[in-house]
Structure 1
């Protein structure tokens, strides 16, 4: 007898999975058949997902709320979709995208449309992951620029750091003078310089209101 399963993924342990779980329960997925990973979607090296692959059989049905809950890596999503539907022979239904339901449209046109939608959505999922990562980097850089330290105690750059950097980049002062004026070791100087550039890049991309 074919079984029905559900897969849930949240990116961190403090995120709430209730919305995904409710959607699966509404489809009458047994609680014991719901697999949950609290892990990034950058790859499929996740314990519960791996366990799910071992249990799925041909003809079983797997529900997932959205394609980005399955993963956020374009190529990996494509590969895993083939593993689920071809290698294992299970059906997959993405609840918020009815076109991604392998039980429907099994003819050539239906398969073509589903493949096209999958490629678009998996691209969007990866693009969003990269955008999130970039915003996180900019946020960390902004925090460090304000003197917030992460991990080991850090040495904040001086208030005139942008001026020192500008003079150094224009070759008006040597690196040794830039280090002396900023009060930083060379490794720390380059780290603060990288954070400063990330912060400046973020400001340039912010549209004026």
Structure 2
């Protein structure tokens, strides 16, 4: 695909991600005001000024509003754009950091509040773990393509699982320490993985 096509695809994906983040922002406000269980999809759609059917173009359920990562397609594009001489971990770290550094303060605040709610509600934590498993598979597929192996290769899966472990630890840390710089925390955690997890 020509470079311009990739850039346009990235812009479309980013616009969609920002639209989804806006719906999440309204949903979080309603969850704060009236509780997660008492809030309906209809109320979220109305607050976000979208139709009921448009909500389901973005999210499969109310639960999905909190557990879905809007930025996966952008991560794939950023990973594929990394120079071939980088190691898989360096390429993935660069891709992840580029997406985080491009997030606005409002997007970061929404992500932090989502994480805090997910941690507090057991059924959402279970759904988040399912989402993380899907993310692990996505990372395995991305890395397998880069190194010429299969996604179900044990080494590839272990690599993907380690990265997901870092993501979970960062998610928990940021929910507990909202005053910290999320990009700096993620960078430090990925650097520890890159250095072999020294303690």
What TM-score comes out, normalization by structure 1 length? 0.29
Bigger relative CO (Cα 8 Å, ≥ 6 apart): 2
Structure whose residues are more often helix by fraction: 2
Structure whose residues are more often strand by fraction: 1
**Greater Rg by CA:** 1
